[in-house]
Structures are given as structure tokens and as C-alpha cells.
Structure 1
Amino acid sequence: MDFSRFSKNLSDFSAQITPFASRTFQFTKEQLGQAEDRTQLPADYIDLEKKVDALKQAHQRMLAVTSQYTTEAYDYPPNIKETFQDLGRTVSEKVSLLSSATSTAEAQAALVAPASAKPQPKTFSHAISRASLSSSQLLHQHHTGAGEDPLATALERYALAMERVGDARLAQDSQIQSRFLAGWNTTLNTNLTFAARARKNVENSRLTLDAVKARVKGTTFKLGGQARTDHPDDTELSSDAQEEIEKAEDEFVTQTEEAVGVMKNVLDTPEPLRNLAELVAAQMEYHKKAYEVLSELAPVLETLQTEQEVGSTSKFSAL
């Protein structure tokens, strides 16, 4: 086979095919190590690309974890077996019904009363709340002494407190979804996507430029160990060929400048940091609320504990 003739045919063919195919042709040559020259991107541009890639990875890693805030039951223990009745009413509603119960049967009916709204949240705090109330009622039902069972009373108070903590956690999640996740998803799916598109335009214009250079200079695949070059010197290029190269160079420069602007805007936007601050604010508000609720409960439990200890001491002294 006449490899030089075949090489010439490939070169002519590459001049006739579409820009997309021309870029693909050039890309294939580069992957096979058959490209004579490859236009280099500016060092500053490459540095911007690395920074944008790092920003994208940071968003992906954070969202992979914090997206759990969109799942109500992310901290709900898988080993808990709660029934439809358990999730029917809020603990506050059940306590209200229990307060008006005059018998064990009425108390039991209050615990399994039909739901007044949607099923109750499946969070760890709400699960603790429901378990505490159920345990409280078991102790109340089997209490035979005078007054109330102090542990049963404490568990009921704890149930109410943990329900409030659980509600605060749900409020936190809602704020994180709207103030953090929405913003970071926008940056990832919009801003960074724009940057990726601009970078792709740069790569396409570079491939087009190098394909034009290779074609007008007559450089194609190395076949049989020989490189085909019809125009060994730039000075031998025709004015039309030189103009075609300059046009491709101008497009490459334009796309590079646009991509630089897009990437700088993505890197300079304060939105990600502002969104992160909102995440912290929501978490802080939740933990502050939980602290306040438990701080209110702690002295109540301490009082019940002291009263129980005093009562036990009195009974022991009377013996």
C-alpha cells in the first residue's frame, strides 16, 4: 500500500468533515500520541481550572453528607418497632388526653387514640419521647402507693421535653434545606455547570485550532513510522491558510478569556460561605433550643429525685 497516498487522503478528508468530527479527529491523534504540536493553555488558566475542580469536589463531598437533612428519619434507630398507634398522636396530645382519664381503660384508650393529623415524626428524639410516655403509663398503671410514682412523673416530663427537642431538630432541618442545601445545589448545578461548559468551549476551540494547523500544514497520522508534512515551514503557508489559523486562534483566545471570567466569578462568589454560615446558625439554634429545654427539665427531675429520697429516708426511719 502507498502509505504516503493514504496519508494524503486522510488529510484531505479531515478538511472536509464537520467541525465536531475534525475536533474528534484531532483528539484521537493526541490520545494516540500522533499530534505534532498541541496548543498550551496559559498557566493562570490551568490554575483556575484546578481551583474550580477543588470547589466542585468540596460541594459534592459536603452535599453527599448534608443531604441527609432532607430525610426526616436520618437519626431514627432501625431497631425500633413502633406501631401505627404509637405514631398516631403527638406526645403532648396524649398527655392532654391522659390528664382527663379517670381509669386505666381510659388511659389506655388515650395512648392508642386515632390520629388527629399525619403520623408523628420518626426522629430519635421523638422516638425517645414516645417510649418515655409509654414507660410512664406502665409505671402509673402498676403504682399502688400514695401519690404519684416519681419515676413515672419524671418520664412524662422527659417525654414532653424530648418532643420539643425533636420539633426543634425538624425546624433545624427545614432551615438547612432552604438556606444551605438549596444554595450549594445551585452553585453545583448552575454556577459550576456554567464553568464546565465554558471550559469545554475552550477545549473545543483548542482542538479546532490544532486541527486547522495540522491540516493546513499537511500533518496527519504517522504511518509506517513516517510523519506526513506537506508544508514544513510556516512561511510556505498561503495567505488563506494563514488567515484560517489566525481565525481559529482568535476564537481560542476569545473562549479562553470568557472561561477565565466565568471561573473567576464562580470562585469569587460569597454565596457558598454565606450558605455555610446559615448551616451553622441553624445547628446552633437547634442545640441552643435543646439546651434550654433540658435546662428547664433538669431541676424538675432533681426536685422529684430529692423528694423521693426524703420520702424513702422517712420510711426507713419510721421502721
Structure 2
Amino acid sequence: MDNFKAIGNSLTSLGSQFTPFASRTFQYTKEQLGQAEDKTQLPPDYIDLEKRVDALKQVHQKMLSVTSQYSHESYDYPPNIKETFGDLGRTVSEKVQLLSTASTPAEAQAALTAPPSAKPQPKTFNHALARASLASSQLLHQQHTGAGEDPLATALEKYALASERVGEARLAQDAQIQSRYLAGWNTTLNTNLMFASRARKNVEKARLTLDSVKSRAKGNTWKIGPTSPRDEQPASSEELSPEAQEEIEKAEDEFVTQTEEAVGVMKNVLDTPEPLRNLAELIQAQVEYHKKAYEILNELAPVIEGLQVEQEAAYRKSRESAS
């Protein structure tokens, strides 16, 4: 028994010589092993704030895991298509302009494969659709031997130009989302929520320090082997020395200060309207893109429909003549 008491007293003496970090680690280990008799409890309101901050952090992580795709140009680019450097050399509108001056099939082919005038063209679904439509249009034009133009070839060329405009609108949407939404939510996650996490860690450090000071002052340490009823009774506050009482009060003040500071930081993170404002910007960018895409396609639809009506009329006329 005396040996166990001697070891316990030695550990208590050793604990009093620990650095603040070691004292906190010592206290944390005791708590994990169920050796801590008294653990200072955090206020219910504080715990509620922690839960709300954790939920906000999870929301940011979940949303950013999806919306971060707006930072990758090719997020909707078809993975099964194979485009060459020549395909990506010039914009569809540039190629159409070059094709308008071509007088032979060779010149038309040269216009389609003209060297790039700037950076390679975007790899988006709409841009790929535009390039495929223009290439298809030229295939029909090259094989067309009748009078006038092939209506399907003409329609595909117009569709190519419209698709490229839709693709440019999508890129404009992505740029807005990156600057007005992603930047804000990443700042909240990596800065504001990080500050809240740091403040909470400071509270936990202050609590561990307080409890380690209390435990050391009352002579509580590791329980190794059997103890007598008297050994289990901690010293009362009246039995504490003035120095020990002062150390406890100092640790309590620090704990209160860190808790109040963390409450302020967490409330600021939770109350700021910035995330909701950023989400509104995300939606607005999407609205502008879909509105622009609608306008482009709505303008094109009657043109294609007109070509279709003309071709059907010509087809019926040719059938009537044949009969």
C-alpha cells in the first residue's frame, strides 16, 4: 500500500512540474482512461453553438464537393469523343467566316483545319456539339450536287453557331459562379470556420488546463492499485493553499475568457449573411445562363423550322412532278 501511495505522490509531484502542454496532455489522458473525477462542463448554449457550427461546416464541404466542378471547364465534355488539335484550332464562327470565302472543296477543308489563332477552343459539351455540327455541315456541302444549298447542311451550320454561343454563355456562368459563389464559400470554410475551430480548441485547452490545475491542487492523480477511503477524498477548497487557490482562479478566468471569445466567433460565423448571399449569386448566374441559352435556341428554332417547311414543300412538289 505504501508503495502505491509513494508512486501516486511521485506522479502528483511530477505533474506539478509539467509544462502547460504536458499538463493538458496528462489531464486528457486521465479523462480518456476514466481517471478524472471532475470534468468542467461547458455551458449548454456553447455546446449548441458548436453543433450548429459543425453542421455549417458539413454543409459547406458537401456543397463545395459538387459545385467545385464549375472550376473545371470540361465538366460536361463528352468523354467518348476524340477531337484533334485541328478541331480545336479555331472557333466555329471563325471557321464559318473562312468557309464563306472558300470556292473549292480544298479551300473548304483548309478553312476547317486552319491553324489556331489563339488558345485551343473550350472543351465543353456545347462547344463540342458546335464543332461536330459544323464538320457534319461541311460533309453534306461537299457531297451536295443539286441546285442551291443542302437544307440540312445549312441548318447544321446555323445550329453550330448557336451551340457555340450557348457554350460561351456557359463559360460566362462558370466564371460568375467561381468569383461570386465558390470564392465566398471557400473563404467561409477555410477562414471563418477555421477561426471558429481555433477558438474552440483554445477553449478545450483552457478547460484541460483548469481541470489539471484543480486535480493537482487537490492531490488527484493516477489511481494505481487499491486505495483507502481516505485516499479517495480530495482536499476541500478550505484545505487548499492560497497559492493553489489563486492558480485555480487564474485558470478559471482564462477558461471563461476563451469561452466568451469562442462564443463571439461562432456567433459571427453563424450570423453572417455571406453564405446566403453567395448562394443567391450562384442561382442568379444559373438563371442568366439558362435565359441566354433559351434566347439563343428560341431565336434559332423558327429558322430551322422554316428550312424544314421549305424542304418538305420541295419534296412534295418533286413527288407530284414524278407522278
TM-score > 0.5 by shorter chain: yes
Q: Which residue of 2 aligns with 1:262?
A: 265
Distance 1:3 1:181, change over 3 A: same
RMSD value, Cα: 1.1
Structure 1 match to 2:286: 283
Please give the secondary structure, in 2, of the residue aligned with 1:2. helix
Alignment partners' CA distance in 1, 2:45 and 2:159: 60
**Cross-structure match for 2:140:** 139
- Asked if 1:74 is matched to 2:75, the reply is yes
1:94, distance to aligned residue in structure 2 (A): 0.2
Q: What is the Cα deviation at residue 164 of structure 1?
A: 0.2
The answer to whether 1:21 aligns with 2:22 is: yes
Question: 8 Å contact 1:218–1:229 — kept in the other structure?
Answer: no
- The match for 2:94 is 93
Give the match for residue 314 of structure 1: 317
Count of residues in correspondence between the two structures? 319
Query: Normalising to structure 2: TM-score of the pair?
Result: 0.97
Question: What is the CA–CA distance in structure 2 between the aligned matches of 1:156 and 1:224, rounded to whole Å?
Answer: 89
Name the residue aligned to 2:306. 303
- Name the amino acid aligned to 2:278: N
Which runs of no fewer than 5 residues in structure 2 stay unpaired?
none
Distance (whole Å) between structure 1 residues aligned to residue 236 and residue 33 of structure 2: 24
- The CA deviation string for residues 222-264 of structure 1, in whole angstroms up to 9 with x for no partner, is 1114385574322211121111111111110010000000000
Measure, in 2, the Cα distance between the counterparts of 1:226 and 1:109: 95
Name structure 1 gaps, 5 residues minimum: none
Map 1:177-192 to 2 at 5 A.
177-192=178-193
Give 2:124's aligned residue: 123
Pairing 1:1-319 to 2, within 5 Å after superposition: 2-226=3-227, 228=231, 231-319=234-322
Comparing 233-242 and 135-144, the one that deviates more: 233-242
Pick which of 216-225 and 259-268 moved more: 216-225
Q: Which moved more, 1:267-276 or 1:242-251?
A: 242-251
Percent identity reads 74
Deviation at 1:18, TM superposition (A): 0.3
Please give the alpha-carbon distance, in whole angstroms, between the structure 1 residues aligned to 2:131 and 2:157: 9
Question: Could you report, residue by residue, the CA deviation over 1:195-248 in whole angstroms, capped at 9, with x for unpaired residues?
Answer: 001000000000000000000000001111438557432221112111111111
DSSP-derived class of the 1:81 partner: coil
Amino acid paired to 1:167: E
Whole-Å Cα distance in 2 between the matches of residues 115 and 78 of structure 1?
A: 23
Q: Which amino acid aligns with 1:205?
A: A
Distance apart, 1:190 and its partner CA:
0.7
Distance of 1:18 and 1:196 partners within structure 2: 24
Name the CA distance, whole Å, in 1 between partners of 2:226 and 2:57: 43
- For 1:154-175, what per-residue CA distance to the aligned partner results, in whole angstroms no more than 9, with x for missing partners? 0000000000000000000000
Amino acid across the alignment from 1:98: L
State the one-letter code of the partner of 1:44: D
Q: Which amino acid aligns with 2:238?
A: T
> C-alpha distance in 2, partners of 1:61/1:225?
51
The amino acid that maps onto 1:57 is Q
Distance, in Å, in 1 between the alignment partners of 2:185 and 2:80 is 33
Counterpart-to-counterpart distance in 2, 1:284 and 1:56: 27
Aligned partners of 1:273, 1:172: CA distance in 2, in Å?
18
| 8 Å Cα contact 1:213-1:245 kept in structure 2 | yes
In 2, Cα distance between equivalents of 1:90 and 1:190: 40
Give the Cα–Cα distance (whole angstroms) in 1 for the partners of residues 74 and 305 of structure 2: 32
Distance of aligned partners of 1:122 and 1:252 in 2 relative to their CA distance in 1, 3 Å threshold = same
Deviations 1:275-310 (A, max 9, x none): 000000001100000000000100000000000000
Q: Distance in 2 between matches of 1:263 and 1:202?
A: 12
Distance 1:67 1:289 in 2: 22
